[in-house]
A and B are shown apart, each in its own frame.
Chain A
Amino acid sequence: MPRKKDTDDINIEMDADDSDSDDGGNNKRTNNRRQGAGRGGARGRGRGKKPASEEEDEDDEDESPRGRRGANKKKPVKKRGGRNVKDDDDSEDEAPKKGRKGAANKKKGGKAQDSDDDDSDAGKGKKGKRGGKKGGKDEESKGKKGDAKGKDKGKDNDNEKKKKKKKDDSSDSDSNTNSEEEESMSEGEMARLMEEVEEKKKLIATIRNKPWRMKRRLVHLKEAQEFVDKFEGALGKGKGRKWYAYKVMMKKKWIKFSRDFENFRTACIPWERKIKEVESHFGSSVASYFIFLRWMYGMNLVLFGFTFGLVVIPEVLMGLPYGSIPRKTVPRADQDTAQDYSVLMDFQGYCKYSIMFYGYYNNQRTIGLLKFRLPLSYLMVGIGTFGYSLMVVIRTMAKNADVGGGDGDEGEFTFAWKMFTSWDYLIGNSETADNKYASITTSFKESIVDEQENQKDENIHLRRFLRVLANLMILCSLGGSGYLIYFVVKRSQEFANRDDLSWYEKNELELIMSLLGLVCPPLFETIAELEDYHPRIALKWQLGRIFALFLGNLYTFLFALFDEVNTKLEEEGAIRNASLWAMKEYYANYTLFLNDSNLTPPPMPPADVIRGPCWETAVGIEFVKLTVSDIQVSYLTILIGDFARAVIVRFLNYCWCWDLEAGFPSYGEFDISGNVLGLVFNQGMIWMGAFYAPGLVGINVLRLLSSMYYQCWAVMATNVPHERVFKASKSNNFYMGLLLLILFLSLLPVVYTIMTLPPSFDCGPFSGKPKMFDVIMETIDLDLPAFLGTLFSYAANPGLIIPAVLLMVLAIYYLNSVSEAYQNANMELKKKMQMARDEEKNRRNNTDSTNQVMKDLEDLLPKGSLMAPPEPEKPPEPESRLTKTKPGSAGKGVNLEKDVALASPNPNARGPVNRSPGPRGAGPGQGPGRGQGPGPGRGQGPGRGPGPGRGQGPGRGQVPGRGQVPGGPGRGRGRGPPPR
């Protein structure tokens, strides 16, 4: 055994030596090591309980700072065999620097080591310990290590225990004592070594994060690596290592994967570049419209997926084919014209009897092999559309509000961020770069406008009067348009009973409505000029007003539609009776003639069957027509209003008597409010109509998709940026709010019809049921276990519903008050932060104008009279404060400065004082800028060109405490006499 141990020792020693020699040049590292050793020693001493251990600790300590020869001599005698001594000596000889001394130490001092070990364990936690143990094992290698290991584990804090164990050990085998001692020693050492290795490893891992030159990095890296290589070998490579390495690898892979995934996800967001391009030309407000459009597109895609996946496609695949039953067949009377273009464009004929509309769907409870419950699915999708939209809109609003929450913080650095973080270093294409330049300039201008808006203050009474006036006028015009619509609707009801109508009389309602839509928005805009709001706020007002106008139109339309539905319902009742009557007659005849009570349906081709008007399909057709005409109108408006105008302005300008581009028609601006509202209302149509015309969702997806490209093109090709470029408000919540309102408003009529009106008796998935929602009841009754049915009936009990509603109201109230409390807390915190910031500022430059009170106090000081003249000039001169101020030396500095300033236009006491003496060729150049300060002695600039650097030196020397005070006087003064 002893032999084995020896070889181990020697190995280690050699390692140590090697590393020493490596370290040779590296002071830092040796220092570290020395420190480590010292620390360990000290700790050991503090803790050591046994005299023996104490002694050793002492040795340790002595050794580390000192030469350690004497200690060596002492120790080996005490504890070790001769061989060890020799080893130690060797090591010392070889390593006079004693960087590695620690290692040698360890080997020697058994007890000190234990305490060390404990320390390191406590400090470093399990890992270090494990490593140490493992290392120990490795080193001692082979033979009886198992024993030692077991002991290690038990050992830990208690020296006493240790002793005992040692005894056991020795009883086991003679030679064990020695080796065990050896082991423990090396273990502590190992721990320390481990620590260092870890440190080095950390350095290796993070070296790339150090802002060093590559050369330096390479050098450090090499050193660290060599060190690690040396000792890592000694520190074993057990299973744990592998596991650790594996973990590290997996972690890296995971990070990489998640990053890739993130990249992929962002790459999947469509039209990013298009929108960026628009943004760079037209500013963020126009871009916000396109972002909103994209968002709508995403939401509609999901709705489209639901509708087509769960309703349309199952019906197509598994339902009865066209022509099999009356509701899926064009009636005989219409068949001749069913394929005419004009009929199809009105969504009659084949269009009417297609999967696009409600009436086509059959009321079979289940269809196909899969027993797909189409009617149930239809209802669920109809309701789910609203549910999903509500959820998405509200979630987006909440998220935006979240972003908005950070707004206060954001306000802090608008300009600085723009300055330092707006350039995208990725740009490598000159065109993109130009765009980026444009967009950055634009955004700066936006911010400047905002800033100026903040600073503006003028005749507030006039402004208020004008605003009130404007609102009055707009209210009047809104009321007028409302009355006009009402009047027209009344008239159209009169017309409905007559047949001899002219074209105008037939289309009066639509005409008036679109005329209103065309005339009112520009009118509002003109009136809004009076108000003179910031464009962003003006946009909101404008949006709100047009919204009110459109809403009036929409609801007028809805009421007209309801009238129609009611007449259809009456008509349907009549037809139903008639058809029932016919059926009865048929059966009566049937049984009469054939004496057969088997009821076979009449052998009538489906095209000939009498059918009701199917009001649901009629409503669906109305909505589809409205949507399509809306698409046409908006596309034509763009084509004529923007494109044709742009072409005319562009090319007729050469032969016109005034400048078309700058003068009257000029190019169009992108109408944000109109487009946003168009989009919002269109979406409202979709929501209302989707239940009665499932195909509408598909049309809408196509529309959004095409308008994305079309409008992007149009805006880039034909529009000019707004005169006052302005930034979109940070969160699009205003748009979202409008959307939510519309969603709610369109939810109402649909839910009303679902809940109250009886479905048509011969078309649609709910035919034959008294109410549409009876499908759900049916499903509950037939498909779910009985107890669930009773459960539902309990749940539907008002006794339960009313408390639930109450509970919700209370919850809303509670959450509301909580959020208010949070808001208050937030405000409080913000205020505190602001105060802290101000305080910080004041503290650092307490002489500066930030703190008025302090300044006043200063003015009252005995020497205040002297200070007076320059003082007032300071505040309005922000540039003059470039000086670096030193806290604390204020008063004196001021005086000194003043003296110099007033007494002598000393050429040496020039401005540059306040600058750090940087290496700058720009010295003379920057002078003028700084020099504008209206200091007391202002000669004037030009002469100062030559060598400010020179002037600087003496100036600073002479007036010691000077930098701290407002550079104003100093600088101003400086520019007078040219230094030479």
Chain B
Amino acid sequence: MGNKQTTFTDEQLEAFQDCTFFTRKEILRLHGRYRELAPHLVPLDFTNRPDIRVPPTLIVSMPELKENPFRDRIVETFSEDGLGNMSFNDFVDMFSAFCETSPRELKTIYAFKIYDFNRDSFICKEDLQKTLTKLTKGDLSPEEVSLVCDKSLEEADLDGDHKLSFSDFENMVSKAPDFLSNFHIRI
């Protein structure tokens, strides 16, 4: 620890620790990762809270995300502008939601947002189709896709409106055995 570079003030670090599930070290590491994405854009010194956004193309190229079929949606969901440009706050926010310690409720909320492609607060059949295509890389035939989507809707849609509201989604996911272990990104 030769150079005592101050990336954050202690207060900032404390605040981040309180607001996320990360330790101080992890936050610094996150900053490192964030800076790595766009070294020319992101300053080392964050004490004066610079307003910096990293475009989605860069974020998506992170190894943690680059294989994820939903990476674009993830980035969009967590960015404040909805387009995927992420400030450091958004960045930390994202990984905090995905980290192992974050509770099921929080993960459920974000998962719902991610799968809601058209952002109408419902997961409708199109959303399902998109999800499925992304999940299987389009390996299923259209009939199969349609069958699977109908089936999923039938299963999870409790109020019969043929789209999944958040409560439907929550109910379904809360019973899923491996949601927690799968909805998790290690940074």
Please determine whether chains A and B interact with each other in the same assembly.
Answer: yes
B125 near A208 with CB under 8 A, answer no
Q: Which of B70, B158, B162, B172 contacts A417 (CB 8 A)?
A: B172
Q: Give bound CA distance, A448 to B119, whole Å.
A: 29
Q: Give bound CA distance, A848 to B157, whole Å.
A: 14
Q: Which of B68, B125, B139 contacts A882 (CB 8 A)?
A: B125
Is A884 close to B, CB under 8 A? yes
Is A889 close to B, CB under 8 A? no
B162 near A882 with CB under 8 A, answer yes
Most chain A CB neighbours (cut-off 10 Å) among B63, B70, B100, B139: B139
Q: A214-B90, A840-B159 are in contact. Are A929 and B186 (CB under 8 A)?
A: no
Q: A209-B103, A217-B19 are in contact. Are A916 and B120 (CB under 8 A)?
A: yes
A416 near B155 with CB under 8 A, answer yes
Interface digits, B117-132 against A, CB 8 Å rule (1 contact, 0 not)? 0111110111010011
Is B163 close to A, CB under 8 A? yes
Counting contact residues on chain B (CB < 8 A from A), the size range is 35 or more
Q: Give bound CA distance, A879 to B87, whole Å.
A: 40
B135 near A440 with CB under 8 A, answer yes
**Could you tell me the distance in whole angstroms from the C-beta of B2 to the nearest C-beta in chain A?**
30
Q: Give bound CA distance, A919 to B82, whole Å.
A: 13
Inter-chain pairs besides A218-B19, A218-B89, 18 sampled, C-beta below 8 Å = A209-B102, A209-B103, A213-B89, A213-B90, A214-B19, A214-B90, A259-B100, A413-B175, A413-B176, A422-B135, A422-B182, A423-B68, A425-B68, A444-B148, A447-B148, A841-B158, A882-B125, A883-B162
**Chain B residues within 8 Å of A844, by CB:** 159-161
Q: Give bound CA distance, A209 to B107, whole Å.
A: 9
A25-33, A429-437, A479-487: which lies at the interface: A429-437
| Residues 162-187 of B contacting A (Cβ, < 8 Å) | 162-163, 169, 172-173, 175-179, 181-186
Q: List 5 A-B contacts (CB under 8 A).
A: A204-B18, A208-B20, A419-B128, A420-B172, A444-B132
B106 near A918 with CB under 8 A, answer no
Is A207 close to B, CB under 8 A? yes
The residue in chain B whose Cβ has the minimal distance to the Cβ of A879 is B125
| Residues 9-48 of B contacting A (Cβ, < 8 Å) | 15, 18-21
B184 near A221 with CB under 8 A, answer no
Q: Give bound CA distance, A842 to B140, whole Å.
A: 32
Chain A: residues with Cβ within 8 Å of the partner, total of 68
Q: A209-B103, A420-B179, A881-B162 are in contact. Are A415 and B111 (CB under 8 A)?
A: no
**Chain A residues within 8 Å of B159, by CB:** 840-841, 844-845
Most chain A CB neighbours (cut-off 10 Å) among B115, B160, B179: B160
**Chain B residues within 8 Å of A885, by CB:** 160-161
A221 near B15 with CB under 8 A, answer yes
Q: Give bound CA distance, A218 to B90, whole Å.
A: 12
Q: Give bound CA distance, A879 to B154, whole Å.
A: 11
Most chain A CB neighbours (cut-off 10 Å) among B21, B135, B150, B163: B135
The residue in chain B whose Cβ has the minimal distance to the Cβ of A217 is B19
| Residues 840-855 of A contacting B (Cβ, < 8 Å) | 840-842, 844-845, 848, 850
Interface digits, A902-923 against B, CB 8 Å rule (1 contact, 0 not)? 0000000000000110111010
Binding site for A on B (CB under 8 A): 15, 18-21, 63-64, 66-70, 80, 87, 89-90, 92-93, 96, 98, 100, 102-103, 105-106, 109-111, 115, 118-122, 124-126, 128, 131-132, 135-137, 139-140, 144, 147-148, 150-152, 155-156, 158-163, 169, 172-173, 175-179, 181-186
**Chain B residues within 8 Å of A222, by CB:** 15
Q: Which of B20, B161, B182 contacts A421 (CB 8 A)?
A: B182
Is A717 close to B, CB under 8 A? no
A420 near B140 with CB under 8 A, answer no
| Residues 210-258 of A contacting B (Cβ, < 8 Å) | 210-211, 213-215, 217-218, 221-222, 225
A420 near B126 with CB under 8 A, answer no
Is A834 close to B, CB under 8 A? no
**Could you tell me the distance in whole angstroms from the C-beta of B146 to the nearest C-beta in chain A?**
8
**Could you tell me the distance in whole angstroms from the C-beta of B102 to the nearest C-beta in chain A?**
7
Binding site for B on A (CB under 8 A): 204, 207-211, 213-215, 217-218, 221-222, 225, 259, 409, 412-430, 432-433, 437, 440-441, 444-445, 447-448, 451, 837, 840-842, 844-845, 848, 850, 878-879, 881-885, 915-916, 918-920, 922, 926, 929
A420 near B69 with CB under 8 A, answer no
**Could you tell me the distance in whole angstroms from the C-beta of B162 to the nearest C-beta in chain A?**
5
Q: Which of A213, A424, A882 contacts B93 (CB 8 A)?
A: A213
B162 near A421 with CB under 8 A, answer no
Q: Give bound CA distance, A430 to B69, whole Å.
A: 11
**Could you tell me the distance in whole angstroms from the C-beta of B121 to the nearest C-beta in chain A?**
8
Q: A427-B67, A433-B67, A884-B161 are in contact. Are A421 and B179 (CB under 8 A)?
A: yes
**Could you tell me the distance in whole angstroms from the C-beta of A78 to the nearest C-beta in chain B?**
45
Q: A218-B19, A444-B140, A448-B144 are in contact. Are A415 and B158 (CB under 8 A)?
A: no
A421 near B125 with CB under 8 A, answer no
Q: A424-B182, A428-B63, A437-B135 are in contact. Are A415 and B151 (CB under 8 A)?
A: yes
Q: Give bound CA distance, A477 to B169, whole Å.
A: 54
Q: A441-B140, A841-B160, A920-B120 are in contact. Are A425 and B185 (CB under 8 A)?
A: yes
A211 near B106 with CB under 8 A, answer yes
Q: Give bound CA distance, A429 to B67, whole Å.
A: 7
Q: Give bound CA distance, A416 to B179, whole Å.
A: 12
**Chain B residues within 8 Å of A922, by CB:** 118, 126
**Chain B residues within 8 Å of A850, by CB:** 160
**Chain B residues within 8 Å of A920, by CB:** 118, 120
**Chain A residues within 8 Å of B132, by CB:** 419, 444
**Chain B residues within 8 Å of A414, by CB:** 151, 155
Q: Give bound CA distance, A425 to B110, whole Å.
A: 13
The 4 closest A-B pairs by CB, nearest first: A918-B120, A214-B89, A433-B67, A415-B152
**Chain A residues within 8 Å of B185, by CB:** 425-426
A415 near B148 with CB under 8 A, answer yes
**Chain A residues within 8 Å of B131, by CB:** 419-420
The residue in chain B whose Cβ has the minimal distance to the Cβ of A205 is B18
**Chain B residues within 8 Å of A440, by CB:** 135-136
Q: Give bound CA distance, A717 to B115, whole Å.
A: 37
**Chain B residues within 8 Å of A428, by CB:** 63-64, 66-67
**Could you tell me the distance in whole angstroms from the C-beta of A391 to the nearest C-beta in chain B?**
27
Q: Give bound CA distance, A413 to B185, whole Å.
A: 24
**Chain A residues within 8 Å of B144, by CB:** 444-445, 448
Q: A214-B92, A215-B80, A413-B156 are in contact. Are A423 and B135 (CB under 8 A)?
A: yes
Q: Give bound CA distance, A773 to B178, whole Å.
A: 51
A416 near B172 with CB under 8 A, answer yes
The residue in chain A whose Cβ has the minimal distance to the Cβ of B92 is A214
**Chain A residues within 8 Å of B105, by CB:** 209
B161 near A423 with CB under 8 A, answer no
Q: A209-B102, A426-B186 are in contact. Are A419 and B152 (CB under 8 A)?
A: yes
Q: Give bound CA distance, A210 to B161, whole Å.
A: 28
**Could you tell me the distance in whole angstroms from the C-beta of B139 to the nearest C-beta in chain A?**
4
A845 near B156 with CB under 8 A, answer no
**Chain B residues within 8 Å of A445, by CB:** 140, 144
